[in-house]
Amino acid sequence: MSSPVSDPCLDVEGVSVAYPNGHLALRDATFHLASGTICALVGVNGSGKSTLFKSIMGFVKPTAGSVTINGLPVREVLKQHLVAYVPQAEDVDWEFPVSVWDVAMMGRYGAMNFLRIPRAVDKAKVEESLRRVSMWEFKDRQIGELSGGQKKRVFLARALAQGGRVILLDEPFTGVDVKTEEAIIALLRELRSAGCIILVSTHNLGSVPEFCDQVVLINRTVLAYGATSRVFTEENLAAAFGGVLRQFHFEHSTVQEHDGRTIRVLTDDERPLIFGKDGHLEYKDRQEHEELLKQRSEEHE
Amino acid sequence: MSDLLIPFQYDYMLRAIWVSALIGGTCGFLSSFVTLKGWSLMGDALSHAVVPGVAIAFILGLPFAVGAFVAGLLAAATMAFIKAKSRIREDATIGIVFTSYFALGLVLISKFATNKDLKVILLGNILGIADPDILQVILISAVTLIVLGLKWKDLMLFCFDPNQARTLGLRAGVLHVTLLALLAATSVAALQAVGACLVVAMLVTPGATAYLLTDRFGKMLWLSSGMGVATSLVGAYASYYFNGATGGCIVTLQTLVFLAAFIFAPKHGILASKRRVRLSAERP
């Protein structure tokens, strides 16, 4: 499987976007992603995350620079249905009279004929995708009657049914229970192994080192991009967030011998981001991370 | 019993009944898209904004539909322009633009036409509809029904998730303009039946009613068009007994059907939601 379609690459080169009101949302943004990666797009509100997403999806035309996938301009690539998009929960009209099945089928529209009449292959794809996110038994439910996590999974199924190779997810973990979050992460890892480029826009910093092997930090431009361990550091985050982040320090006195040298951190919704001594990132899921680091260093050699 | 058959003895009544049904069905079909896209106010605006076009067409002796269609699209373009170039909110923009067009239409009509013509445009006159106008209605309905029938899935996706439509390479801009153009054209057809003031009811009420009755878009389309046809048939028939107020009869009927759905709809009616609240309160 080495055809250009199965191994996509995404190149954002010197992209600037100005809106008609004169607001320069993005200036000279550059990053490159090769096939098989989960990359977090991290920045504060208004840092240009959604503008960057929109230019990768071809909704806004950069005033300068270019976005290419496999060396082709985005508009060309969209015709091949290679870019899939999982919207933020707030952007969806949940009262719309469509079922889970209908939404997943929408992923197939690009591949269907003029009248959008599903063929056997479309139905099979939709069923497979819904089963993969364990939503098959809910296929006839109206989408508003689902839980937060189920809602998210329906739209993931749509991206799967579409067969997108570059998948963009906007805030995939808001309103999602921990179990679903883990299921989504497992699915994204499968897609990564299959060679997809997965770009996740998130403000949930704690989850980034858990499942993203690369990070793009943005604040009106790309501040840094690359491997998580190298880019996702305290200094870079401070630059990206400019003092917006809340910090808690645990000092010697907090880490007691009689507690077995452990600290428990409870948070209501978002995972906390933990740095160890000397600013090393702390991972819960270490094994996968180290495999990945090894694999990446081998690739470099 | 034979009294009830009297309307069918008149040629003009029979014509009014089937033309109304055609218009009602077309508007009903489109109304599902209008209500889900949140374009109800837009429908109201367009149906009023076509009036100066109708007036100019009347003065120049052109078909109403041509003038109305041009005026409708011009109004839509004016709204888009003001929205893009100023900080005024969309509802205010729509309010300003459609009343301006409507007022211009009133001035034109009262200057160049008679009060009878004004009444026809504002309140409709399906009982006296002329053959060329019937032909217009048939053409508009045919085009609308064919376009919607062939591309309803694309338009549904455009209403539900325009971003997904774009990422699949569908032309969202084209879909947007298509829906607007159909809306403008259908307002002209509905103008003949119920007049400019009540067009918006034909374009909103069936869709809103169907929305209360089902959770599937395909079913909603059948329900809203069916309701459009049925209420227009019965309304036009009943107008024989109400001194020819066809528009009033059709829209009143639609309101009654809507109210019935609002109260009794099996899942989204107020009785059903009361029942749900009671059940969940009883549960330990």
pLDDT for the residue numbered B195: 87
Q: Tell me the CA distances in angstroms from B227 to A104, A263, B24, B39, B171, one per residue in order.
A: 30, 65, 8, 20, 31
- B2-279: CATH, from 2.60.40.420, 1.10.3470.10, 3.30.420.40, 3.30.1370.60: 1.10.3470.10
Q: Which residue has the higher pLDDT, B263 or A263?
A: B263
Domains of chain B, by residue range, sit at 2-279
Q: Which pTM does this prediction carry?
A: 0.88
Tell me which residue in A83, A97, A115 faces B217 most closely, judged by beta carbons.
Answer: A97
Residue A189 touches partner B, C-beta closer than 8 Å: no
Residues with Cβ within 8 Å of B20's Cβ and at least 6 positions away in sequence, in order, are B126, B193, B232, B233, B235, B236, B246, B250
Residue B169 touches partner A, C-beta closer than 8 Å: yes
Sign of CA dihedral A259, A265, A271, A273: negative
Tell me which residue in B157, B166, B214 faces A59 most closely, judged by beta carbons.
Answer: B166
Residue A20 touches partner B, C-beta closer than 8 Å: yes
User: In this structure, what DSSP letter does residue A97 have?
Assistant: S
Per-residue confidence band for A250, with pLDDT thresholds at 50, 70 and 90: confident
Sign of CA dihedral A225, A228, A231, A235: positive
Q: Which residue has the higher pLDDT, B196 or B222?
A: B222
Contact A115 B153 (CB under 8 A): yes
- CA pair distance A60, A197, nearest whole angstrom: 21
Q: What is the mean pLDDT of residues B85-104?
A: 92
Per-residue confidence band for A6, with pLDDT thresholds at 50, 70 and 90: low
Q: What is the mean pLDDT of residues B174-201?
A: 89
Q: Does the pLDDT at position A90 exceed 90?
A: no
* Strand partners for A24: A18
Residue with tokens 């409507």: B102
Residue A31 touches partner B, C-beta closer than 8 Å: no
A83-87, B35-39, B116-120, B177-181: range with lowest mean pLDDT: B116-120
* Strand partners for A227: A214
Closest CA of chain B from A122, distance in Å: 15
Closest CA to B43 of B239, B154, B191: B191
Q: Which two tokens stand for residue A292?
A: 């990945």
Contact present, B1 and B165 (Cβ < 8 Å): no
Domains of chain A, by residue range, sit at 1-82+166-178+191-301, 94-163
The tens digit of pLDDT for each residue in A158-182 reads 999 999 999 999 988 887 888 888 8
pLDDT for the residue numbered A278: 66
- CA pair distance B243, B66, nearest whole angstrom: 30
Contact A162 B168 (CB under 8 A): yes
Residue B87 touches partner A, C-beta closer than 8 Å: no
Q: What is the mean pLDDT of residues B220-247?
A: 93
pLDDT for the residue numbered A2: 38
Contact present, A272 and A206 (Cβ < 8 Å): yes
Tell me which residue in B163, B166, B216 faces A99 most closely, judged by beta carbons.
Answer: B216
Tell me which residue in B167, B211, B219 faces A85 most closely, judged by beta carbons.
Answer: B167
Closest CA of chain A from B85, distance in Å: 8
The CATH class for the domain spanning A1-82+166-178+191-301 reads alpha beta
Tell me which residue in A92, A107, A116 faces B153 most closely, judged by beta carbons.
Answer: A116
b/e code B72-90 from CB counts within 10 Å (16+ = b): bbbbbebbeebbeeeeeee
Residue A98 touches partner B, C-beta closer than 8 Å: yes
Contact present, A36 and A193 (Cβ < 8 Å): yes
Q: What is the mean pLDDT of residues B66-72?
A: 88
Residue B215 touches partner A, C-beta closer than 8 Å: yes
- CA pair distance B27, B19, nearest whole angstrom: 12
The DSSP string of B5-19 is: HGGGG-HHHHHHHHH
Residue B147 touches partner A, C-beta closer than 8 Å: no
Q: What is the mean pLDDT of residues B185-198?
A: 86
- CA pair distance A196, A93, nearest whole angstrom: 28
Q: Does the pLDDT at position A1 exceed 60?
A: no
Site from A72, A81, A116 to mutate, B interface, most B CB atoms within 10 angstroms: A116
Closest CA of chain A from B222, distance in Å: 13
Q: Tell me the CA distances in angstroms from A187 to A57, A123, A147, one per residue in order.
A: 22, 21, 19
Count of CB atoms situated within 10 Å of the CB of A238: 13
